[in-house]
Chains A and B, each alone.
Chain A
Amino acid sequence: MNIQTEKIADHQVRVTVSFDPEQFEGYKQRAAKRISRDKKIPGFRPGKAPYDFIRRYFGDEAIETQAIDLLIDEEYPKVLEQADIRPAAPGIIEDIPSKDPLTLILVVPLEPEVILGDYHSIRMEYAPPKVADDDVDKVLEEMRYNYATAETSDQPAKMGDVVLAKVSATIQNPSEGQSAQYLTDSPTQILLDDADGKKEQPYPGFSKALIGVKPGDEKKLSHKFPKTSSTEELQGKTVDYTVTVETVRQLTLPELNDEFAQSLGEFDTIDKLRAEINHQLEHERTDDYNNEFFDQIFNAIIEQSTIAYPPQLLNEEIDAVLDSLKKNLEREGLDLQTYLKTRELEQADFIEKEVKPAAKKRLEQSLVLEEIARNEKVEIEDGIIENTYKETLQILESSPDFKKRGSQEMRRMASRLALNTANKMLNNKILERLKDIVTGEASTTPEETKQAKRSRSAKSASDKSEQDITKSSPTKKSVRKKVSQGATDDNQEL
């Protein structure tokens, strides 16, 4: 076996291998056996026809193709080992320049290489947003409106009332092709509210003008919209409104007391409600903040680092992004084609412009994350994966469709879940560690006390994935399992 390697662009390597004729001859014999086993030859039982006869019956070409298939299956891992190549994805046979002696030109994508910059020098403030009492008050106020009771009244409308009215609107000097009649007797519910005024529809100050109206009143208003108005058609136009009031309703807002809290169900006192709201707000905001925070860190790290990976990995990532997009769309009852149509995009364009950058970012993040994990010696404890696996299996076993799906599949599902959990835990740990680094809390060198070896199960999982790659023949597509996935990954397996 004679191997020559040559690096080519895109982080791939071109390997030229020539084999001994005797070796290839052996594979040809086996290939003939296999052909005679698969194909019917009259007069012979399957697998019993002699080599020469198969050659005459099927031709040299068929035997050689089969022989090369077999040879790749068995020799490819050895070739990679001898050439010291760690592949990221199955290679492909680019060309077969000669068959005697057999010479193959293979193109193998290399494992991604990440050279981290000095990410220890990155400093960033970590300041999760605090929830002020004001914010809680706002939420409570909204809740009050949601739970308000409305009563029809004959009194003139005042602040806080709801006015049901028919609204007509006419645009002065409409632009060409624009109909002057913007609204015709459209029934509208107007909450007289002096809140920020920004949200007020159709324009700020509209409700103020309606204070004092009674049922049956007709009010004429005129407003010039600014050029910056959010409604495109009305930008810079003067609109005449005619409001015919039908009913005025008084809103009775519930008091913010324990009773109100109890009416919502789970809360005994208003304080508990406040605490819950506070907690939820804080959770939401911290999550948002964390996402942004880590995003920034990653961007900074990626900028510093040199990341090289073959295009195959990016393609896989694009597929993954598309898949999760499809799943999300399916949940909304759409398919990808319809979605693209509503956005008036071609699929190729869409992939190139939107999916690819997202996939690139995800891939780079996950690669950097992996590398940092290795660098910082972040690991999860032994046994956690096994425990999660057992627990999940138990839950799955008690589920009703256990028998239907079969225990084999359940076991596979459980192991996948356990792996996912482990991934998530590992991710969280890495992120924690990163946070410590950028806030300057961590020591600059990774802790020596932690053992260098990764968790046993995680390791075996990664070993397996490597085997998968090397075993599968280069023409087959095998998906590379990632030991740790990016922080933005949504694991929606179940």
Chain B
Amino acid sequence: MTTIYDILRRPLVTEKSNYQVSKLHQYVFEVTGDATRTMVKDAVEKLFEVQVLNVNIINVPAKRTRRARSRRLRVRESGFKKAIVTLAPEDRIPIFEGVE
């Protein structure tokens, strides 16, 4: 049984997500595979005490990469589910913004 405390795996901090935070007020998380929009919304609202306006969810496909040494193809990166959470304008999640 997944609780809301298991839903959010980790925040995604990349150049793109950084842009989304600063320009679009959207925060990006990696979430468990069986998470739904509602579950993500509940989790974020509860954990960070913010108001969530909108949740988009994407299944990021697994990527196949090649090992440099042996030429065999192998799957190196498994896919994950990505949740893009839009917050109310007055809210923010500090872990995305530098040292806290």
Contacts and interface: CB of A to CB of B under 8 A. Distances in A.
A52 B12 contact: no
B12 A53 contact: no
Interface stretch (B13-21, B34-42, B53-61, B82-90): B13-21
B15 A43 contact: yes
Contact of A43 (B12, B97, B98): B12
A226 interface: no
B73 interface: no
Nearest to A44: B15
A45 B14 CA distance: 9
Contacts, number: 25
Contacts of A52: 97-99
A56 B15 contact: no
By size class, the interface of chain B is under 10
Contact of A56 (B14, B18, B98): B98
Interface string A17-61: 000000000000000000000000011110011111101100000
B98 A53 contact: yes
B17 to A, nearest CB: 8
Q: Interface of chain B, helix or strand or loop or mixed?
A: loop
B64 to A, nearest CB: 20
Contacts of B13: 43, 53
Nearest to A45: B15
Q: Interface of chain A, helix or strand or loop or mixed?
A: loop
Interface residues of A, number: 12
A41 to B, nearest CB: 9
Nearest to A43: B14
A48 B15 contact: yes
A190 B13 CA distance: 96
B15 A55 contact: no
Contacts of B15: 43-45, 48-49
Residue among B12, B17, B97 having the largest count of chain A Cβ atoms under 10 Å: B97
Contacts of A44: 14-15, 18
Interface in B1-31: 12-15, 17-18
Nearest to A53: B98
A55 B18 CA distance: 15
B98 A50 contact: yes
B59 to A, nearest CB: 19
A49 B15 CA distance: 7
A393 to B, nearest CB: 48
Contacts of B12: 43
B18 A50 contact: yes
A51 B13 CA distance: 14
A49 B12 CA distance: 14
A42 B13 CA distance: 9
Nearest to A54: B98
Contacts of B18: 44, 50, 53
Contacts of B99: 52, 55-56
A48 B19 CA distance: 11
Nearest to B100: A56
Nearest to A56: B99
Contacts of A50: 18, 98
A457 B13 CA distance: 57
Interface in A444-465: none
Residue among A51, A53, A55 having the largest count of chain B Cβ atoms under 10 Å: A53
A52 to B, nearest CB: 2
A51 B12 CA distance: 17
Contacts of A45: 15
A55 B17 CA distance: 18
Nearest to A60: B99
B29 to A, nearest CB: 14
B98 A55 contact: yes
A52 B100 CA distance: 10
A57 to B, nearest CB: 10
Interface string A379-422: 00000000000000000000000000000000000000000000
A43 B96 CA distance: 13
Contacts of A49: 15
The 5 closest A-B pairs by CB, nearest first: A52-B98, A43-B14, A44-B15, A56-B99, A48-B15
Given A49-B15, A53-B13, 6 more contacts: A43-B15, A44-B14, A44-B15, A50-B18, A52-B98, A53-B98
11 contacts: A44-B14, A44-B15, A45-B15, A48-B15, A49-B15, A50-B98, A52-B99, A53-B13, A53-B98, A55-B99, A56-B99
